[in-house]
Chains A and B, each alone.
Chain A
Amino acid sequence: MVDGTNDNRPVSPHLQIYRPQITSTLSILNRITGIAMSLAALLIVWWFLAAAISPDYFNYVDGWLTSWLGVLVLVGSLLAFWFHFFNGLRHLRWDAGLGMGKGEVARSGKLAIVLSVGATSLCIIFAL
């Protein structure tokens, strides 16, 4: 077993043995962005709840979300959103049995990075 209690059979190489590849890196990034957006989603729930309570409480919460810390979190969430969006499209294509060739997965991965950075930049430009 892996904990060495039964025998010393070889085990398959784990994450830190392999050189990071674009496919594995984007796969773990998909999880990280999903987890990160959970926190952003709860902040947005707080924002909607505040708007339903009173103008004063809304201004308090909106002040937090538009402070430098809030903007940092929201811009990070925006990048996470666009990455998860475009990488999710890759996953849905794979689920349909498409685009799984060795060259294709690397190409679509690079495309997802370019599109997510581009979409985030456009959103920031239009929001200013």
Chain B
Amino acid sequence: MSYLTDRKRVTGLGVAKNGVEHWVSQRMTAVALIPLSLLFIFPFMGALDSGYDAVIATYAHPGNAIVALMFFTVLFRHHRLGLQVVIEDYIHNHRRQVQLLILNTLVWRAAGVTVLFAIAKIAFTAT
């Protein structure tokens, strides 16, 4: 017999320790991407294969630039969280799993800063 409550005895004994933040964040980014992906994809498809000047003109427009900055900020968080689950599910070798999880984080952070800088430069330097 124990004077501890059932809740107190099991708290902290699960394997995950955390995960609610991940789960909520995956869904929050998904909801944000519904409007952002639609607002991004149509100007982007218009700019693709229309030449350098048209691309610069598209993203010199504050509306397109701001949408693109928001889109990639949220998208790469969504990508990082999604691929994290894939790695955790299918890579069973612990060392390899940790290596890939680190790589996953670094790639999406680096890609995020790169694309945000590139879009900002286009938006600020277009004449």
Contact mask B21-48 → A, CB, 8 Å, 1/0?
Answer: 0000001001101100100010011001
- A34 B49 Cβ-Cβ under 8 A: no
Instruction: Give the distance in Å from the alpha carbon of A55 to the alpha carbon of B122 in the complex.
Output: 12
- Which B29-76 residues have a C-beta within 8 angstroms of A? 30-31, 33-34, 37, 41, 44-45, 48-49, 51-52, 55-56, 59, 75-76
- Residues in A with CB closer than 8 Å to B117 are 52
CA distance A88 to B111 in the complex (A): 23
In which size bucket is the chain B interface?
20 to 34
Q: Is the interface of B mostly helix, strand, loop or mixed?
A: helix
Chain A, interface size: which category?
A: 20 to 34
Residue of B nearest to A123 (CB): B45
Q: What A residues does B119 contact at CB under 8 A?
A: 48, 52
> Binding site of A, secondary structure by majority: helix, strand, loop or mixed?
helix
| Interface residue from B41, B59, B76 paired with A41 (Cβ < 8 Å) | B76
Q: CA of A89 to CA of B47 in the docked complex: distance in angstroms?
A: 27
Please state if A127 and B79 are interface contacts (CB–CB under 8 Å): no
Further contacts, 20 of them, CB under 8 A, given A35-B83, A41-B111: A31-B86, A34-B86, A37-B79, A38-B79, A41-B75, A44-B44, A49-B114, A49-B115, A51-B52, A51-B118, A51-B122, A52-B119, A52-B121, A58-B55, A62-B49, A62-B51, A74-B48, A88-B33, A91-B30, A95-B27
